[in-house]
Amino acid sequence: MTELGVVRRKIRRAERAAVEALGRYGVATVHEAMGRVGLMKPTMRPIYPGARVSGTAVTVLLHPGDNWMMHVAAGEIEPGDIVVAAITAECTDGYFGDLLATSFMARGAKGLVIDAGVRDVKTLTEMGFPVWSKCVSAKGTVKATLGSVNVSVVCAGAAVNPGDAIVADDDGVVVVPAEWARKTAEAAQAREASEGEKRLKLAAGVLGLDMYRMREPLEKAGLKYVD
Amino acid sequence: MTELGVVRRKIRRAERAAVEALGRYGVATVHEAMGRVGLMKPTMRPIYPGARVSGTAVTVLLHPGDNWMMHVAAGEIEPGDIVVAAITAECTDGYFGDLLATSFMARGAKGLVIDAGVRDVKTLTEMGFPVWSKCVSAKGTVKATLGSVNVSVVCAGAAVNPGDAIVADDDGVVVVPAEWARKTAEAAQAREASEGEKRLKLAAGVLGLDMYRMREPLEKAGLKYVD
Amino acid sequence: MTELGVVRRKIRRAERAAVEALGRYGVATVHEAMGRVGLMKPTMRPIYPGARVSGTAVTVLLHPGDNWMMHVAAGEIEPGDIVVAAITAECTDGYFGDLLATSFMARGAKGLVIDAGVRDVKTLTEMGFPVWSKCVSAKGTVKATLGSVNVSVVCAGAAVNPGDAIVADDDGVVVVPAEWARKTAEAAQAREASEGEKRLKLAAGVLGLDMYRMREPLEKAGLKYVD
Amino acid sequence: MTELGVVRRKIRRAERAAVEALGRYGVATVHEAMGRVGLMKPTMRPIYPGARVSGTAVTVLLHPGDNWMMHVAAGEIEPGDIVVAAITAECTDGYFGDLLATSFMARGAKGLVIDAGVRDVKTLTEMGFPVWSKCVSAKGTVKATLGSVNVSVVCAGAAVNPGDAIVADDDGVVVVPAEWARKTAEAAQAREASEGEKRLKLAAGVLGLDMYRMREPLEKAGLKYVD
Amino acid sequence: MTELGVVRRKIRRAERAAVEALGRYGVATVHEAMGRVGLMKPTMRPIYPGARVSGTAVTVLLHPGDNWMMHVAAGEIEPGDIVVAAITAECTDGYFGDLLATSFMARGAKGLVIDAGVRDVKTLTEMGFPVWSKCVSAKGTVKATLGSVNVSVVCAGAAVNPGDAIVADDDGVVVVPAEWARKTAEAAQAREASEGEKRLKLAAGVLGLDMYRMREPLEKAGLKYVD
Amino acid sequence: MTELGVVRRKIRRAERAAVEALGRYGVATVHEAMGRVGLMKPTMRPIYPGARVSGTAVTVLLHPGDNWMMHVAAGEIEPGDIVVAAITAECTDGYFGDLLATSFMARGAKGLVIDAGVRDVKTLTEMGFPVWSKCVSAKGTVKATLGSVNVSVVCAGAAVNPGDAIVADDDGVVVVPAEWARKTAEAAQAREASEGEKRLKLAAGVLGLDMYRMREPLEKAGLKYVD
């Protein structure tokens, strides 16, 4: 059961080298390397194009319209972390702006992933602090009710534990459990290694039908070419 | 990491007496008793009004457009279970109809909770087999790709482990972790006990403002009555 | 500007006879009689079918996830009122359940219109207390932040002033400004009077094309019948 | 290209006996019998539960906020038809109410399928005139701009030609091209015939895993049972 | 009651100096300075990033699929105005393109805010004419039915009166009632003045927890730090 | 009826010169030239701004979560084609990434239009391969079930036949039936020719009210100017 009113201080972060490796492969490759699980919903979009980050999750659970725990979360950030913010119910409010971003950056955060809204996006873009969010909204929040920091949360359809590896880029956000980070990085590397050769063949006009030997299984499945 | 291609056979189900007790209090009370967490999204609606069930979760993870694992899940149902079906991505297909319901009922299932579509809803209603789903859709599915049964899933925004207690009624669906079932049932009972007296007072015209002693904190917060 | 932290006590309610008359004609007719304005969005649905109410608006403005002002609003209800609840941002939380309904009924409220969620819908249905809402949700709220009562609000896309006439039925919710209530009731009556004869003609197989003399304007507009 | 300003008078309606047969099997079975195509989106819902109709399509193409062509369509209805209304862009307005329903019924229409809103739903329910629509809305429309009647349209994601067979029930709406109606009815009958025996077996506790001989293919695909 | 068929010529515009000042602070700051009200929904997005405008509202009320009144509105624009377009029901049509933009710019308009669609967005971007809209759509509209110009409207969930101050940037759109413009500008200035020092402290690594003295209230509320 | 398991090899492509001409006028003009039909829904957005392409449709029908037929479609591409991908039900999965794009480009495809998700969008942008899609999603797909290539499909609300002319730009996507391509290109040219002069007049401050002679019809319709 998700606990409210709790800040967990000791979390096991995914191994740094693995987290950094995951960041090199990007969301699509990492998601495939995990066996096609772990993705957040496609509603999570970056506030500006081109950013790619990987880091370890500091999770925060907030109430609709209340960003009090964001300030508590700031206190738990270590360099290389990405804050992952979940709300106890659907909310589009702007929980995060340039002041909090200044604080998060000073603490070493590499980005924010939030299943709600964000504001001051022009300034955040200029600061180079990437955020993946459900929407952009100037709507302000109150500071009245306790949530939690570094508990298990569900963010945009994905289960996230504190310390999990997070990779985010223009394709979305993927969560890799801390204990799977190294193995997934290796699988991603293997996957990417095999893509270079494929790309060359496809660029030369070879069809995937032939390269992947799909013609026979397609015919067996009953595919018919007609005029 | 959610594993694909796995059926876990030994799961620890929440204590039966606690699960039954939770069913008496209903979703709203149980959710409050848990501290306002554990709810699935309000997109989950019953196919007919008036049903209320509680049971233990048999989880199933499916791919978009593929209901193969529903048949595998049927084999894991024990009397008193509720099947909780999650999809690896958004899908509205009709994964479940009257034939599967016949099988689930024969195995003792008390209902289905699915973050996708369901069909044959008229027949399901006549059979009295309750389903909470995101939508109704006649769209058929294929049986081609492995998912999993009895792994941890995220269904409609809520994390569900196999064996967790599930309560579902006209207000939605709530998940109570197996190890919290008894304690939550007790908290729900206490909550409900205190409501009877309140209801009588309110029915007699006493205002919540007075019954809950809100006038002073409202004034302190700055509330002004003006003409 | 919408003020927060204010409860207006003296509001001018629409004339009772006019409000009651509006209730006889229903939402579709009243909306047409107003010149096709004043409707809330079609996302506003009744929690059970068949109810039709008319009343005078007691408005309440709430924050996401916070229903404190609902209790304040209860204190302002006079018999014949309908509470109209707006939220300062999108929210699906369940702001209202059977206890508040008991209190509202005791005060003489005829219903609730809320651009958010409601819970305990089975009990509300049994109590016969109609609610029009954006969704059903068991999600509980806190009581921490001031909103307002009886200020101008926007609810589900419609501007509502305290005292305005509200008509709600299976077709949705329409708002009639207090000063227009009588005139609108008269227009609705005239409209309805003319419908009886039309209905008889149409039932006898006369086409609207002929009854409304549309054939000539359609031809002028260029409509072509082809084989 | 969809033509505007045209009413086609001579359309080839699907064979009556086939259309009636399709109505006996219902949407889910017919959709499967067609090879899992032809369904409208699950956003199309009946205004009251329990209705099932089949008929031949009279199509009408309308502009946002304008129901003029509904009156033109009424003139083209023959007994046994179902009117299928598409809009040239997304619209939630209430294009249809009890007066038009009176006219449609007098002409022999069996129902309406509209990718927009409908109003007077309480009266329509009492009249027993079934409508499948995207929403309920009292919002009135104007009569100013030409659309077309009995041209090819796309309604709720499905291509519909005038004369096609339409089947609609609690599971949604399916379109069967006129020339495929008989063949599809036969396939549906075969499908339904095979379901009775399956239902008995499943009710007796036989698993689909065994009845459909899925255990071997599941094992081949790599499914693992673990403790 | 919103009147149709009316163009109000004499409107009281918010004081120019205050409107210009509001534009310097931006949407998030102005919204906070107003007490967290007045925002349009986050569905309103700019067609290109980086624009920030402030101006006085010329309002226009249109019907679904009909942009006739846009041309009437053009005639009411004075230099420094922003046109705010509301539709009587949900509509995604493209009401506005490069020709109307040319006209609006020639009249001195600083932008358009429309709760519907816009087209020719590439050309509008090249022209530097900013639009905040619900969507981009090439769908054309007719010119057949009267709406109104310079009446009170609800646009994207916010009430707007002609002459109100509008501020729009990458964070969205906020409405400041004309009579509150000066006072709000002053509050915004005060707010912004206090942010510079906070930003420096946060950048230096001071936590909001300490800067805002939150540790004590958090502890009082029951927050627990655990290992 | 849409056939599954079929690849049509001989399709009649719209005349090349006409297709190229359509590309010069863009989506908004072509859509108007067609009489305001043929547009896909505004949910279809380009993955990067500024692209405009026209081409002939190679259609592909896919199942939710399954991109097998994309590889089959690649084999049917001729230089100048645009692949139009429809799914048999709503799906947001990422059916297409940089490897398929490499293959499509090698075959001469000018772009992709898909009523689902796409991934590797940063790489696609760098490659200059434009895609119009419903969303961006890294979610991978399987290759298990047959769909079809070059059959009639409905994509994002528009009926598309193989060989139809497709025009796509920042305003969306429009479909021109092959047999109407030349005529539509001529109508688009005429439309564009007339716009230059209008633009000059509007830029000089002439109102559309006067240029289009709207004042009289507005007055006749009852428009009133008031103070």
- Subunits touching B (CB < 8 Å, at least 3 pairs)? A, C, D, F
Query: Which chain B residue's Cα is nearest to D195?
Result: B99
pLDDT per residue over C179-212, tens digit each?
999 999 999 999 998 898 999 999 999 999 999 9
Question: Can you tell me the mean pLDDT for F43-62?
Answer: 98
Total Cβ atoms within 10 A of residue C221: 13
ipTM given for this complex: 0.96
CB D107 within 8 A of CB D135: no
CA distance C36 to C39: 8
User: Residue B224 in 3-state DSSP?
Assistant: strand
Confidence of residue A3 (pLDDT cuts 50, 70, 90): confident
pLDDT per residue over F166-177, tens digit each?
999 999 999 999
CA distance C198 to chain B (A): 36
Report residue C9 as tokens: 């006590």
DSSP notation for E41-100: PTT-EESSTT--EEEEEEEEEEBTTB-HHHHHHHTT--TTEEEEEEESS-B--B---HHH
Instruction: Taking each helix axis as running N to C, give the angle between helix E16-33 and helix E181-203, from 0 to 180 degrees, rounded to the nearest 10.
Output: 50
**Quick check: A126 pLDDT over 60?**
yes
| Candidates E36, E37, E88, partner chain C, best to mutate (most C CBs within 10 A) | E37
What Rg value do the Cα atoms of chain F yield, rounded? 20
CB E226 within 8 A of CB A7: yes
CA distance F166 to F183: 15
Backbone angles phi, psi at D225, to 5 degrees: -95, 125
**Quick check: C222 pLDDT over 90?**
yes
Select from A5, B220, A9, B72 the least CA-distant residue to D222.
B72
pLDDT per residue over F93-151, tens digit each?
999 999 999 999 999 999 999 999 999 999 999 999 999 999 999 999 999 999 999 99
pLDDT per residue over B80-123, tens digit each?
999 999 999 999 999 999 999 999 999 999 999 999 999 999 99
DSSP state of E179: G
CA distance D102 to D80: 15
- Subunits touching A (CB < 8 Å, at least 3 pairs)? B, C, E, F
Mean pLDDT of chain A: 97
CB C47 within 8 A of CB C125: yes
CA distance F139 to C15: 58
Contact C177 E1 (CB under 8 A): yes
CB C69 within 8 A of CB C58: no
Residues in chain C: 227
CA distance B36 to chain C (A): 6
CA distance A47 to A61: 21
User: Residue E156 in 3-state DSSP?
Assistant: coil
Per-residue model confidence as pLDDT tens for chain E (227 residues): 567 899 999 999 999 999 999 999 999 999 999 999 999 999 999 999 999 999 999 999 999 999 999 999 999 999 999 999 999 999 999 999 999 999 999 999 999 999 999 999 999 999 999 999 999 999 999 999 999 999 999 999 999 999 999 999 999 999 999 999 999 999 999 999 889 899 999 999 999 999 999 999 999 999 999 99
Write out the residues of chain B at the interface with chain C, using a CB-CB cutoff of 8 A: 27-28, 31-32, 36, 39, 42, 45, 49-50, 52, 169-172, 174, 195, 198-199, 202-205, 207-209, 212, 214, 218, 221-227
Question: Can you tell me the mean pLDDT for C74-78?
Answer: 98
**Quick check: C37 pLDDT over 60?**
yes
User: Residue E208 in 3-state DSSP?
Assistant: helix
DSSP notation for B75-136: TT--TTEEEEEEESS-B--B---HHHHHHHHHHT--EEEEEEEE--HHHHHHHT--EEEEEE
pLDDT per residue over D161-180, tens digit each?
999 999 999 999 999 999 99
Q: Please name the residue ranges forming H helices in E115-211.
A: 121-127, 181-203, 208-211
| Angle value at C-alpha A94, between E124 and C65, nearest 5 degrees | 130
CB environment E40-56: b (16+ within 10 A), e (fewer): bbbbbbbbbeebbbbbb
**What sign does the dihedral D168-D174-D178-D182 (CA atoms) show?**
negative
Contacts of C63 in chain A (CB under 8 A): 65, 142
Predicted pLDDT of residue C2: 61
**Quick check: D214 pLDDT over 90?**
yes
CA distance D29 to chain C (A): 30
Number of helices and strands in chain C (H, E)? 7, 12
Dihedral through CA B214, CA B217, CA B220, CA B223, nearest 10?
-40
Instruction: Taking each helix axis as running N to C, give the angle between helix C181-203 and helix C16-33, from 0 to 180 degrees, rounded to the nearest 10.
Output: 50
